[in-house]
Amino acid sequence: MYDKKKNFQGCLKLAEEGTILYCLGLCYHDEIGTTKNEAKAFQWYLKSAEGRKYVGIIMWIISTGRKPFANKEYNAELAADVFNGLRPKINK
């Protein structure tokens, strides 16, 4: 079973190590395993953007006109899947 509190703790640990910063922002934004905190969510989103780890995703949106994983709910579970190697399907 999906444990939101455990997922939050994992995201927190990884974010403090400098990876998947966006995931922690999502946890704070969507109240996943923690209390909702828009300021902290923004802080982690900003740190993620500063690291330029999502330039590829931004380019995906610009080039296709749609967001990746449009058929999935954007949540911490999707963020964990992406961290574990899930990538959007590229149609040629």
Give tens-digit pLDDT for 13-64.
877 777 777 778 888 888 888 899 888 887 887 777 766 656 666 666 766 7
pLDDT of the residue at 41: 81
Say which residue the tokens 């905190």 belong to: 37
Confidence bin at 72 (pLDDT 50/70/90): confident
pLDDT beyond 70 at 5? yes
pLDDT of the residue at 1: 56
Domain borders along the chain are 4-83
pLDDT of the residue at 75: 72
Q: How many CB atoms lie within 10 A of CB 87?
A: 10
Within the chain, strands assigned E span none
pLDDT of the residue at 80: 72
pLDDT of the residue at 90: 64
